[in-house]
Amino acid sequence: MSTSLLYHGFGIRGYEYLSAHYVEGQVVFAVRRSPNHLRCPVCGSQDVVRRGQSPREFRSLPIGRKKVKVIAHLQRVECRSCGAGPQQERIPFADPKRQYTHAFERYAVELSRHMTIQDVARHLGVSWDVIKDIQKRYLSRRFGRPKLKRVRLLAIDEISVGHGHRYLTVALNLESGAVVFVGEGKDSEALKPFWKRLKASGARVKAVAMDMSPAYQKAVSEALPNAQIVFDRFHLMKLFNAQIDELRREMQREAREKLHKEVLKGTRWILLKNSDHLDKTRNERERLEEALRINKPLATAYYLKEDLRQLWEQKDKAAAKTFLQGWIARAETSGIQRLKKFARTLAIHRSGILAWYDYRISTGALEGTNNKIQTMKRQAYGFRDMDFFKLKILGIHETKYALVG
């Protein structure tokens, strides 16, 4: 085997081919350092004295379906230039304390973009832990400290990662689509490391999209006083849908107690749908109209919900402000306690809601990232190593999530 093939085929440079043999379906070849490449591992001098050899085995790139093992006869050298005692030569084709070559590591990383950890391990004939370690080290180098200097628009939201109310707080760069921070928990404490790194980077964040969580509001206001807070429209509509659902439950209980009839049974999802998404084949529009006819408070809430969607369809911020004021006034005069409470919530958060007309951003991109994370978590049967899980999330924008393991 030529030294050129060693380099171009297996990434081993500066070594001479010695021999090859075949053991239990494996290709095993031996190499040793070329004399003109032998140097002191301390100072790099070529003025060294050889003090014996010791063989060491490494996994390398497979040849087809055959595993390949490299036995490197590593030289111990004593340096005349710096006086360093006998030490083993440096290994340029593998990292310290690793039993596989850089080429093998790169191949495993490439496969991991298209296959689960278990599939890669089975294909390469190594343990699950080896592939996980390769992935973790690669992700740490590639995504461990995301660059924040150019971050201008952020989205912040929490995601559920397991039973027992376990949450992670995720920050997304809305311009690049990359996750730039993952913290444990869903309170202001979870974001403290992020604010420290963001300040050190010199980033000038213009706007942050989030839900109306008081913890996030306080954290962003204190850490980024010049950034505009934009309350997410999807969370806002989700919050109003929750109020409609609770109102429906109240109406149903009242009807059952007074009229002994379940007049609203089976209408929950119809009430939460957009009017243009109703299924004609299931008579959903007729069922909706019947439910609204019987219950005036529910009808009022439903039509107010449909009107609220128009808040983000106004021609400019001034028109949106006028529309929102009118909507709040109608909700407050509806006589329905839940609607009045919701109207007060909108009034308190008015500036953040209308800020959407200054920066048309939302946490919608994070919802897609959350779906990828849930898929990844299911296929990996859970991530017990939280550091590894965070690194996978930081690199998820470059991953085909349907096959990630």
Going by the DSSP 8-state scheme, the letter that residue 89 receives in this structure is: P
Give the list of residues 6+ apart from residue 303 with CB closer than 8 angstroms, or none: none
- pTM for the structure as a whole: 0.76
Distance of alpha carbon 166 from alpha carbon 87, whole angstroms: 49
pLDDT value of position 401: 43
Superfamily of domain 153-232+362-403 in CATH is: Ribonuclease H-like superfamily/Ribonuclease H (3.30.420.10)
Structure tokens at 234: 């999807």
Residue 252 structure tokens: 């149903």
Query: Look-up: residue for tokens 């297996």?
Result: 10
Structure tokens at 379: 């296929």
Distance CA 355, CA 366 (A): 19
The rounded distance, in Å, linking the Cα atoms of 8 and 30 is 17
Give alpha helix (H) positions in 56-166.
102-112, 117-124, 128-143
| Beta-bridge mates of residue 169 | 158, 183
Question: Per-residue confidence of the chain (405 residues) as pLDDT tens digits?
Answer: 677 788 888 888 888 888 889 988 899 999 998 888 888 888 888 888 888 889 999 999 999 889 999 999 998 998 888 888 888 888 999 998 899 999 999 999 999 888 888 899 999 999 999 999 999 999 999 998 899 999 999 999 988 876 656 888 999 999 998 999 999 988 889 999 999 999 999 999 999 999 988 888 999 999 999 999 999 888 898 888 888 888 777 777 766 655 444 544 555 445 455 656 666 666 666 655 655 555 677 778 878 888 999 999 999 999 999 999 999 999 998 888 889 999 999 999 999 999 999 999 988 878 777 777 777 776 654 467 888 888 988 988 776 544 433
Q: How far is CA 246 from CA 110, 138, 241, 252, in A?
A: 50, 48, 9, 10
Please check whether residue 155 is in contact with residue 169, taking contact to mean a CB–CB distance below 8 angstroms.
Answer: no
User: Which pLDDT score, from 0 to 100, does residue 402 have?
Assistant: 43
How many CB atoms within 10 Å of residue 145? 12
DSSP code, position 90:
P
Report the run of H or E that residue 52 belongs to, with start and end.
strand 48-63
How many helices (H) and strands (E) the chain has is answered by: 15, 10
CB 373 within 8 A of CB 86: no
Which of 52, 141, 44, 55 has the alpha carbon at shortest distance from 102? 141
Q: Residue 169's closest CA among 363, 352, 309?
A: 363
pLDDT attached to residue 228: 95
Question: Are the beta carbons of 344 and 335 closer than 8 angstroms?
Answer: no
The CA–CA distances, whole Å, from 26 to 85, 94, 267 equal 37, 20, 65
